[in-house]
Chains A and B, each alone.
Chain A
Amino acid sequence: MEVRELICIGCPLGCPLTVKMDGENIEVSGNTCKRGDDYARKEVLSPTRIVTSTVHVTGGAIEMVSVKTKTDIPKDKIFAIMDEIRKVTVEAPVSIGDVIIDNCAGTGVPVIATKDVAKA
């Protein structure tokens, strides 16, 4: 049986988690909510993260619009997603939730705006 100690990143409480793995059987302890259990299972099987960054805006009231992957994506795709985000420029106006890149880096997950940017 393999035992791993993790820190939950689900929220800023940062609960210390213990994951006991016995083949298919995974037991999580130390979590104080369901998020911790979900995080621990994902983290030992196929870890994921939400990626956040910024994209240049043309004709906007500010230079940059903040963006994020709409859901978490496989951890090993972080840099592939950043490569695509860096190539993109958008035109103002931008609203929260607007899709900036559809199906980013083949993950099936869109990159969406997290800020409103009005026209200059």
Chain B
Amino acid sequence: MSNHDIVIIGGGPAGLAAAVAARKAGIQDILILERDSCLGGILNQCIHNGFGLHTFKEELTGPEYAARYIKMAEEEKIPYKLNTMVIDINRDKEITAINREDGLIVIKAKAIILAMGCRERPRGALNIPGYRPAGIYSAGTAQRLMNIEGYSVGKEVVILGSGDIGLIMARRMTLEGAKVKVVAELMPYSGGLKRNIVQCLDDYGIPLKLSHTVVNIEGKERVTGITLAEVGPDRKPIPGTEEHYSCDTLLLSVGLIPENELTKSIGVSMSRVTSGPEVNDQLETSAEGVFACGNVLHVHDLVDYVSEEAALAGTNAAAYVKAGEKKEGHVVALKAENGVRYTVPQTLDINNMQEKVTVRFRVADVYKDRYISVYYDGVQVSKRKKKVLAPGEMEQVVLKKDSFAGCPELKNIVICTEVE
């Protein structure tokens, strides 16, 4: 068994930013474990532009954004192991991993940063009737096949789900000469960013059908067509609204799920809303010295915010390793109410917190002209008006340490939406 100060699980954007920040905070002994054959994670296949405006003040593609962080990690000489799959982590922070060179290895860490990212919700989770022919892909799988492996995925395409990857793939396949016939979305609103509707669908005249879903898949060897139907407020298909589309490919962009099998093996408390671990303002899970950041914690829209969050996890993990123990403070629960689905973090230590803590959250539905309000034990301390709030766009509020100066008995903080 080998020992390291900080071991980071995952070498994507979150893992890299966490590693660089931990090194800058003075920790020499860091190891990144990555299961793929290169660093950079999902950014390697996200060849479109729009990354890095917050972090680097310029517009980069995914591979360029990844390359910046890989360079930083290499300049800091942070060790990493590629093609290495972590298969277990226990409460004593012992990590079991396998690769072809070392075989089975066990590593004991003083602190662990979970940065495993997320994966796509598959067809099996949707219960779409019909055959199981070739030509049905999750949007991210199709993206990898096209952008990394160089395959042509299909010629006539229907996309179910309006998540960002689906929208990006609608444009990508159109540019490669495919005909994208329609993007169907079960919900009455899109799950993707507005800018992606504009530049991926509107630019190419691809229709977006809200409140629609696939009710049948045809074709035995290869997809030959699908049937769409409108759904009612109960999200059940309305008989008589069926429409047939011939196609050879069906892409699914129906949600991302944080990949937390390892997190669960540690036995930390999980959030049922985010499907990620619950964390405090240090981004530390309920297991002391185990931190989480990026899409494994909650699914983000922007890699820039992943990097920011991950750097914080890296800095905090470094501080934990140096201190060797946890300071007990005054822990307050953050509560998501009235249209706010969850908050990350879920608790805040108002004695030991940083000067500012960013609380990220998503709303439950599309709202217009609402306030985002913050209450300390029932007393409103801030409100900010938003023209539009949508579940597809992550929101945030910043809580300042000095705002808690007059609240020695504080029990909870509520973040909610309010109409005027």
Interface residues, chain A, with chain B CB atoms under 8 Å away: 6-12, 14, 16, 49-54, 56, 62-64, 66-68, 75, 78-79, 82, 86, 96, 114-116
Query: Does B49 reach chain A (CB closer than 8 Å)?
Result: yes
Q: A12-B195, A14-B193, A63-B148 are in contact. Are A54 and B47 (CB under 8 A)?
A: yes
Chain B residues lying within 8 Å of A16, measured Cβ to Cβ, are 194, 387-388
Binary flags per residue of B294-312, CB closer than 8 Å to A gives 1, else 0: 0000000110000000000
Q: Is B339 an interface residue (CB 8 A)?
A: no
| Among B128-136, B196-204, B253-261, B407-415, the stretch in contact with A | B196-204
- Main DSSP-derived SS at the A contact region: mixed
Report, nearest first, the 3 A-B pairs whose CB atoms are least far apart: A14-B194, A66-B47, A115-B63
Residues in B whose Cβ lies below 8 Å from that of A82: 175-176
Asked if A9 and B48 make an inter-chain contact with CB atoms under 8 angstroms apart, the answer reads no
Bound together, the chains give a CA A11 to CA B67 distance in angstroms of: 20
- B177: chain A residues within 8 A (beta carbon): 86
C-alpha gap A6/B388 in the complex (Å): 14
Q: Which chain A residue has the least Cβ–Cβ distance from B149?
A: A63
B59 touches A114 (CB 8 A): no
Q: Which residues of the partner chain B approach A49 to less than 8 Å between Cβ atoms? A: 199, 203
**Contact B197 A66, beta carbon cutoff 8 Å:** no
Q: In terms of DSSP, what is the predominant structure of the interface of chain B?
A: mixed
Tell me the minimal C-beta distance from B290 to chain A in angstroms.
Answer: 30
Known: A64-B150, A82-B175, A115-B67. A53 touches B199 (CB 8 A): no
From the candidates B47, B63, B150, B387, name the one contacting A56 in the complex (CB within 8 A): B150
Q: Are A114 and B47 in contact (CB under 8 A)?
A: yes
A-B contact pairs, 19 of them (CB 8 A): A8-B195, A9-B199, A11-B59, A11-B195, A12-B193, A12-B301, A12-B302, A14-B195, A50-B59, A52-B47, A52-B49, A53-B47, A53-B172, A63-B150, A86-B176, A96-B63, A96-B64, A96-B67, A114-B61
For B193, list chain A residues within 8 Å (CB): 12, 14
Q: Is B353 positioned at the interface, with any CB of A under 8 Å from its CB?
A: no
Q: Are A68 and B150 in contact (CB under 8 A)?
A: no
Rounded to whole angstroms, the CA-CA distance of A9 and B198 in the bound complex is 8
Find residues 29-50 in chain B having any chain A CB closer than 8 Å to their own CB. 44, 47-50
Residues of B close to A7: CB separation below 8 A: 194-195, 197-198
**CB atoms of B50 and A68 under 8 A apart:** no
Out of A8, A9, A53, A116, name the residue touching B67 (CB < 8 Å): A116
Taking A12-B301, A114-B61, A115-B44 as given, write out 10 further A-B residue pairs in contact, using a Cβ cutoff of 8 Å, ordered by the A residue number: A9-B199, A12-B50, A14-B193, A52-B47, A63-B150, A66-B47, A66-B63, A68-B47, A82-B176, A86-B176
